[in-house]
Copies of this chain bind each other. A is one copy, B any other.
Amino acid sequence: MKRTSMNISKNVIRRLPRYLHKLDDLANNGEKRISSGELGRQMGLTPSQIRQDFSCFGEFGQQGYGYSIAPLREQMGQILGLDRSYSVIQVGVGNIGHALIENFNSIIEGYRLLGAFDERPELIGSKIGDTPVYSSKNLTDFIQKNRVDIAILAVPRDVAQKLTNNMISAGIRAIWNFTNVELDTGDSGVLVENIHFSDSFLTLTYYLAEEDDVKK
C-alpha cells in the first residue's frame, strides 16, 4: 500500500490513525483477518467507506476473503510515517509539557524525544525520564544541528509566536501546537497540528447548552 495520489482528503487522513489502532487491537486479540463489513461494524463506518479509504493507497484485501490484519497494520504504519524515525523535541516544560514528555513513548510507539527546552534555570541540565532539558537559548542551534523535524510546543501564549518564528528560521518542519494560539507560519510551508484544549472543551459545553435549550 502506498500513496497513489497526493490529494487525499483530510477526512480520510484523519481516519488512518483510527484504522491503525483498531488493527493493533485486533492483532493483540489474536485475530488474523477481517472483512470490511466487520471492520466497519466495529468502527461505525460503512464497508464501502473503508474500501474507498484503503483504495487511496492501492489495492488491498481480497473479494470474499477480507483483509489480512498483520500486513495491513504494517502498511498502515508506513503510510502514517511510523517507519521514518522523525526527530522530535519538546519546547516548554510546564505541567502539560512535563506530562507529554513522561507519556511520549506511550502516545507514540517507536518515537523518541531528542530533548526538551525551557528557560527556567532550575530545570536546565535536569532529565525527565531519559529526556534531557536544555536552555531555550540553544533551541534554534539544536534544531539546525540535529535537523529536528517536529517540535511539540507547550509554552505560555505570549511567547508562542516568537518561538515559532525562531524555529521556522532554524528549519523546523512541523509543530504540534498545544498552546491556544493560532500560529502564523507565513509562507514557510511548516505544518501545524493543533491540540486546542479550550476549543475542544467549549464544543462540549455548546452541545450541553443546546440540549438544555431543547428541553425548555
The interface of chain A, by Cβ under 8 A from chain B, is 3, 6, 13-14, 16-18, 20-21, 43, 79-82, 84, 86, 95-96, 98-100, 102-103, 107-108, 149-150, 173-174, 176, 180, 182, 191, 193, 195-214
Candidates B98, B107, B182, B209; contact of A18 at CB < 8 Å: B182
List the 6 shortest-distance A-B pairs measured between CB atoms, nearest first.
A81-B209, A81-B205, A17-B199, A99-B99, A95-B99, A17-B202
Can you give 19 contacting A-B residue pairs, CB < 8 Å? A6-B214, A20-B202, A21-B180, A79-B209, A80-B205, A81-B202, A81-B206, A82-B202, A84-B205, A84-B212, A86-B208, A95-B102, A95-B103, A103-B197, A108-B198, A108-B202, A173-B208, A174-B208, A193-B204
Do the beta carbons of B197 and A195 come within 8 Å of each other?
yes
In the complex, what distance in Å separates the CA atom of A6 from the CA atom of B213?
Answer: 9
Q: Could you say which residues of chain B place their CB within 8 Å of the CB of A17?
A: 196, 198-199, 202-203
Do the beta carbons of A176 and B191 come within 8 Å of each other?
no
Q: A16-B206, A84-B208 are in contact. Are A103 and B96 (CB under 8 A)?
A: yes
Question: 16 more A-B contacts (CB under 8 A) besides A80-B202, A95-B98?
Answer: A6-B214, A13-B203, A17-B202, A21-B198, A80-B206, A81-B202, A81-B206, A107-B197, A174-B204, A176-B200, A191-B204, A191-B207, A191-B208, A193-B200, A193-B203, A193-B204
In the complex, what distance in Å separates the CA atom of A182 from the CA atom of B21?
Answer: 10
Give the copy number: 2
Q: Could you say which residues of chain B place their CB within 8 Å of the CB of A3?
A: 210, 213
Q: Could you say which residues of chain B place their CB within 8 Å of the CB of A103?
A: 95-96, 197
Residue in A182, A204, A209 whose Cβ sees the most chain B Cβ within 10 Å: A204
Do the beta carbons of A6 and B210 come within 8 Å of each other?
yes
Do the beta carbons of A14 and B79 come within 8 Å of each other?
no
Q: Could you say which residues of chain B place their CB within 8 Å of the CB of A86?
A: 205, 208
In the complex, what distance in Å separates the CA atom of A17 from the CA atom of B14?
Answer: 21
Do the beta carbons of B14 and A203 come within 8 Å of each other?
yes
